[in-house]
């Protein structure tokens, strides 16, 4: 007798949720990524009780077509890639089609979305993966997504949630990363009604740096610029005097995606070399642009880690451009002293 069965969609979604939705901040990350992919220029995030009670993300992006609203919650349903070859040239933040079904499997979701500006919208309510309501509604173009009572039906996971302050810390980190990677998008983050972050969305990265790290930090930043055959670098690094006790303020952004890369961090630290006191780290936002085929983002479900095709060239560019801008700084005070 055969013993192997293909799991039904509901169980498969709950299993996937375990990977995609680790905590409230993962929900925020996925919803904000969707808002950006939809071309939103305003993204508002409002959370209650560290996101454990509710998470609401609204955007003024493309919205979801009425006939796609339910499909969006199917597993592996995505509008972002169509062919296998697209996987090697990813230009969107999402592409796996896993977030919405995973989130909906472990929470109570309410979605209001309009794909045009004729006021016609759709409202959808899903609880624990079950469709409770789908009806016509009225709204302006864009998407308004609310996630309530995360993990209400997975008590084991709920037990692992930390304090409200810790969960909120993770959510703020997600928003900081998004804002630093997308200075052209106006973000707000509110917690229990209090505004914690607000960016203007005018494309000015220094304004975002000031909103996150403070104006004195922003004033200590030096602009980066450079390019090699395959890569372009921009962004800001702090003057060596402005240091921090950990690496958390080193951000690397590849084609608009915040990434973690040991190699990029090392290239940056190598450029500072002896300029930094021991165990002190700079504040940096390194933005890299490259052809999408030169970076593999399909390494991990959270897509934080990436692989680069021509690492040596890239790391060299990073090191050289930072050295160049720091070198100018070191020379100026010396020149002044000699006068």
What's the N-to-C CA distance of the chain in angstroms? 92
Q: Which residue is nearest to ligand ADP (CB)?
A: 94
- Choose the contact partner of 319 out of Mg ion, ligand ADP, none; CB within 5 to 8 A by kind: none
Nearer to Mg ion, 42 or 96 (CB): 96
Of residues 25 through 64, those in contact with Mg ion by CB under 5 A are 34
Give me the least distance between CB of 68 and ligand ADP, in Å please: 6
Closest C-alpha among 267, 215, 221 to residue 240: 221
Site for Mg ion (CB under 5 A): which residue of 50, 94, 128, 129? 94
List the 284-290 sheet strands across, edge first: 221-227, 231-238, 284-290, 250-254, 257-259
User: Locate tokens 């997975």: which residue?
Assistant: 154
Nearer to ligand ADP, 50 or 97 (CB): 97
| 290 lies in the binding site for Mg ion (CB under 5 A) | no
Give me the least distance between CB of 143 and Mg ion, in Å please: 12
Closest C-alpha among 96, 93, 97, 100 to residue 57: 100
Question: How far apart are the C-alpha atoms of 49 and 191, rounded to whole Å?
Answer: 7
DSSP per position, 141-177: SEEEEEEESTTTT-HHHHHT---HHHHHHHHHHHHHH
Q: Is the Cβ–Cβ distance between 160 and 71 less than 8 Å?
A: no
Question: How far apart are the C-alpha atoms of 338 and 80, rounded to whole Å?
Answer: 59
- Choose the contact partner of 78 out of Mg ion, ligand ADP, none; CB within 5 to 8 A by kind: ligand ADP
- Choose the contact partner of 183 out of ligand ADP, Mg ion, none; CB within 5 to 8 A by kind: none
- Contacting range for Mg ion; rule: CB under 5 A; set: 97-105, 128-136, 199-207, 218-226: 97-105
Tokens standing for residue 188: 């707000």
- Choose the contact partner of 80 out of ligand ADP, Mg ion, none; CB within 5 to 8 A by kind: ligand ADP
Give me the least distance between CB of 114 and Mg ion, in Å please: 19
Contacting positions for ligand ADP (CB under 6 A): 30, 34-35, 38, 59, 61-64, 72, 77-80, 94-100, 143
| 102 lies in the binding site for Mg ion (CB under 5 A) | no
Give me the least distance between CB of 324 and Mg ion, in Å please: 37
Nearer to ligand ADP, 80 or 310 (CB): 80
Question: How far apart are the C-alpha atoms of 202 and 249, rounded to whole Å?
Answer: 22
Give me the least distance between CB of 97 and Mg ion, in Å please: 7
Burial classification of residue 85, based on how many CB atoms lie within 10 Å of its CB (0-12 exposed, 13-18 middle, 19 or more buried): exposed
Torsion region of 226: left, alpha or beta (phi above 0 gives left; psi -120 to 50 gives alpha): left
- Choose the contact partner of 64 out of Mg ion, ligand ADP, none; CB within 5 to 8 A by kind: ligand ADP
Question: How far apart are the C-alpha atoms of 108 and 135, rounded to whole Å?
Answer: 17
| 99 lies in the binding site for Mg ion (CB under 5 A) | yes
Give me the least distance between CB of 49 and ligand ADP, in Å please: 23
- Choose the contact partner of 154 out of ligand ADP, Mg ion, none; CB within 5 to 8 A by kind: none
Q: Where do contacts with Mg ion occur on this chain (CB under 5 A)?
A: 34, 94, 99
């Amino acid at each position: 007798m055969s013993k192997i069965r293909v799991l039904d969609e509901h169980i498969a979604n709950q299993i996937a949720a375990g990977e995609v939705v680790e905590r409230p901040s993962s929900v925020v990350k996925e919803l904000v990524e969707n808002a950006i992919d939809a071309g939103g220029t305003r993204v508002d995030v409002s959370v209650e009780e560290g996101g454990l009670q509710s998470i609401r993300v609204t955007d003024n992006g493309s919205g979801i077509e009425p006939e796609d609203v339910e499909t969006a919650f199917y597993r592996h349903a995505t509008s972002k890639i169509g062919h296998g070859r697209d996987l090697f040239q990813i230009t969107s933040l999402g592409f796996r089609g896993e977030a919405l079904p995973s989130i909906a499997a472990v929470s109570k979701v309410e979605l209001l979305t309009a794909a045009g500006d004729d006021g016609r919208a759709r409202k959808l309510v899903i609880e624990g993966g079950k469709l409770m309501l789908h009806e016509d509604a009225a709204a302006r173009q864009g998407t308004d997504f609310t996630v309530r009572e995360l993990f209400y039906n997975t008590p084991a996971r709920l037990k692992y949630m930390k304090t409200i302050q810790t969960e909120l810390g993770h959510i703020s980190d997600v928003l900081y990363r998004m804002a630093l990677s997308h200075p052209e998008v106006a973000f707000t983050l509110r917690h229990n009604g209090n505004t914690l972050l607000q960016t203007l969305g005018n494309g000015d990265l220094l304004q975002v740096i000031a909103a996150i790290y403070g104006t004195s930090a922003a004033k200590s930043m030096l602009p980066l610029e450079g390019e090699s055959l395959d890569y372009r670098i921009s962004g800001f690094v702090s003057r060596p005097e402005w240091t921090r006790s950990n690496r958390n303020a080193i951000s690397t952004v590849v084609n608009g995606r915040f990434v973690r890369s040991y190699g990029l961090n090392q290239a940056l630290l190598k450029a500072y070399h002896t300029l930094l006191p021991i165990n002190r780290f700079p504040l940096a936002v390194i933005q890299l642009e490259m052809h999408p085929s030169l970076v593999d983002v399909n390494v991990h479900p959270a897509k934080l880690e990436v692989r680069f095709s021509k690492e040596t060239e890239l790391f060299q560019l990073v090191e050289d451009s930072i050295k160049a801008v720091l070198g100018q700084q070191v020379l100026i005070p010396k020149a002044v002293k000699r006068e």
